[in-house]
């Protein structure tokens, strides 16, 4: 008997059919935070059902917003304006780095003090990257060794020009949210382009900002308006199914209503470089975000090397790409040191689990070298409490010989509570 909280994955023959994935996590967080700052009622349909986005809703509630669900399951947020209410207790960000980092920018601009806390994994993750620039804007922040809990004394912030040292959309968004609440203008320059949902969400709620290459500028003091939106399917959740389909030559997979934002769809380019054919259909724009249907005809005959700006754009998809790498013609990943400070050390977690399945993997300081054409066997997999590790190895397990047990698989609820059930819908055995 596998231990409680474990899931057994049996080998598959094929991936076949069509599905929709839950609402995008990155967009859900941003829309919920901006809805709180926009006086009036926002309605967010297809809001991410994951625990992370629920942490954001609970924090916005604790900051004085009324949040309910309507009979269609949409999230209704009664925004109160740029000045929120002082929370009665610490703001619990759970496992969510996005909640803690982006919300820091909002509470830094309030007239009260807040404490942001997180679970054990979040309390290990680096927060200096938001503390440094927010302090420059005038906030007082106390932390333990630059880690959560963060005690932020909000103030009237002033705009700054800031060059973000690490490529991080969370940091960029934190500073744009702080900039919205600040006096004057805030300019954020990032080393390479990261996902632009913060910029697009601010525009969707009525703010103006300018972008030139990797530089974004926002003027403080702008008033937001509420938003009615249907949140597109999460492209990082879709990635698991696309990678599953890619490793079975007879697969035929269609994913409807999925986010196709170019800063989130680098996986499609990598799969194409490996030899898969991806098609986008019925593409439309919703509040600045591209949404459509993707279909995939598999092909994995060519090796790929992922580095530089592409690594930054693919950061959440790298665990699953590495997990399928032994079945492909080989994958080399470089410049991915950031993976060490995600929900787990994802470079080590992937290496350890691939080795448990019998793969040859070379882990480098900032990536992996994984040769192709390997055969893996089922094994006991440790999720390390990290949702993307659990899901990545559910995919690797589909082409292994024998059964695989994913331990502590309940962590998939962080971004995708129905993941295993949805996987079964498209797996042919
Ligand atoms: C996210 C940005 C990325 C990503 C995370 C979501 C976002 O983190 O890994 O899952 O929504 O902005 P970093 O900003 O730390 O790279």
Q: How far apart are CA 348 and CA 354, in angstroms?
A: 10
| 302 dihedral zone (left: phi>0; alpha: psi -120 to 50; beta) | beta
DSSP, res 311: H
Q: Which of 94, 121, 168, 320 to mutate to test the pocket of ligand 1 (most atoms within 8 A of CB)?
A: 168
* Ligand 1 center from residue 98 Cα (angstroms): 6
For residues 393 and 399, give the distance between their C-alpha atoms in angstroms, rounded to a whole number: 10
Percent of the chain with pLDDT over 90: 99
| Positive/negative CA dihedral, 352, 357, 362, 368 | negative
Q: Is the pLDDT of residue 367 over 80?
A: yes
Read off the pLDDT of each residue in 201-206 and give the average, rounded to a whole number.
98
- 195 close to ligand 1 (CB < 6 Angstrom): yes
CA–CA dist 242, 391 (Å, integer): 12
Is the shortest distance between the CB of 169 and ligand 1 below 6 Å? yes
With cut-offs at 50, 70 and 90, classify the pLDDT of residue 4: confident
Calculate mean pLDDT across residues 199-205.
98
Instruction: Report CA(168)–ligand 1 centroid distance (Å).
Output: 6
pLDDT in tens, 152-187: 999 999 999 999 999 999 999 999 999 999 999 999
**Cα distance between residue 386 and residue 111, in whole Å:** 35
3 state SS of 118: coil
CA-nearest residue for atom 9, ligand 1, is 316
Q: Is 410 in the pocket of ligand 1 (CB under 6 A)?
A: no
* C-beta of 99 in contact with ligand 1 (< 6 A): no
Q: CB under 8 Å to 62, separation ≥6 — which residues?
A: 87, 88, 89, 91
Predicted TM-score (pTM) of the model is: 0.98
Residue carrying the six token digits 């509570």: 417
Task: Place 149 in a pLDDT band, splitting at 50, 70 and 90.
Answer: very high
pLDDT digits (tens, 9 = 90+) for 230-271: 999 999 999 999 999 999 999 999 999 999 999 999 999 999
Q: What is the C-alpha separation between 171 and 160, in angstroms, rounded?
A: 14
Most informative mutation of 48, 122, 169 for ligand 1 (most atoms within 8 A of CB)? 169
Q: Is 287 in the pocket of ligand 1 (CB under 6 A)?
A: no
Cis status of the peptide bond prior to 149, with omega within 30 of 0: yes
Residue 240 sits at the vertex; the CA angle it makes with 236 and 243, to the nearest 5 degrees, is 115
């Amino acid at each position: 008997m596998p231990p409680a909280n474990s899931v057994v994955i049996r080998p598959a023959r094929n991936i076949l059919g069509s599905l929709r994935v839950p609402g995008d996590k990155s967009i859900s967080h941003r829309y919920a935070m901006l809805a709180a700052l926009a006086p009036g009622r926002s309605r967010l349909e297809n809001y991410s059902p994951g625990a992370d986005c629920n942490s954001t809703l609970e924090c916005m509630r604790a900051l004085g917003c009324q949040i309910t669900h309507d009979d269609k399951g949409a999230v209704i947020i009664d925004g109160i304006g740029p000045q929120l209410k002082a929370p009665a207790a610490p703001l619990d960000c759970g496992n969510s780095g996005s909640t803690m980092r982006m919300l820091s920018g909002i509470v830094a601009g309030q007239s009260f003090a807040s404490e942001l806390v997180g679970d054990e994994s979040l309390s290990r993750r680096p927060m200096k990257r938001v503390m440094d620039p927010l302090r420059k804007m005038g906030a007082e922040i106390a932390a333990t060794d630059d880690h959560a809990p963060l005690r932020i004394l909000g103030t009237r912030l002033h705009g700054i020009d800031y060059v973000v040292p690490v490529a991080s959309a969370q940091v960029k968004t934190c500073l744009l949210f702080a900039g919205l609440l600040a006096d004057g203008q805030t300019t954020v320059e990032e080393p390479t382009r990261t996902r632009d949902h913060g910029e697009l969400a601010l525009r969707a709620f009525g703010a103006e900002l300018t972008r030139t290459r990797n530089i974004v500028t926002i003027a403080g003091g702008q008033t937001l308006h509420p938003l009615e939106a249907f949140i597109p399917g999460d492209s990082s959740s879709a990635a698991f199914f696309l990678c599953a389909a890619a490793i079975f030559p007879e697969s035929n997979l269609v994913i409807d209503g999925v986010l196709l934002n170019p800063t989130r769809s680098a996986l499609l380019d990598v799969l194409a470089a490996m030899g898969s054919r991806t098609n986008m259909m019925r593409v439309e724009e919703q509040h600045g975000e591209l949404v459509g249907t993707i279909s995939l005809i598999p092909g994995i005959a060519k090796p790929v090397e992922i580095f530089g700006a592409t690594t930054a754009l693919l950061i959440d998809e790298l665990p699953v790409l590495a997990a399928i790498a032994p079945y492909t013609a080989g994958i080399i990943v470089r410049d991915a040191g950031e993976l060490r400070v995600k929900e787990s050390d994802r470079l080590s977690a992937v290496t350890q689990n691939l080795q448990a399945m019998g793969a040859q993997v070379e882990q480098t300081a900032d990536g992996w070298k994984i040769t192709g054409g390997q055969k893996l066997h089922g094994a006991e997999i440790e999720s390390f409490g990290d949702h993307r590790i659990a899901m990545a190895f559910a995919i690797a397990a589909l082409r292994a010989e024998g059964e695989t047990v994913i331990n502590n698989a309940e962590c998939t609820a962080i971004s995708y509570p129905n993941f295993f059930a949805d996987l079964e819908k498209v797996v042919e055995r």
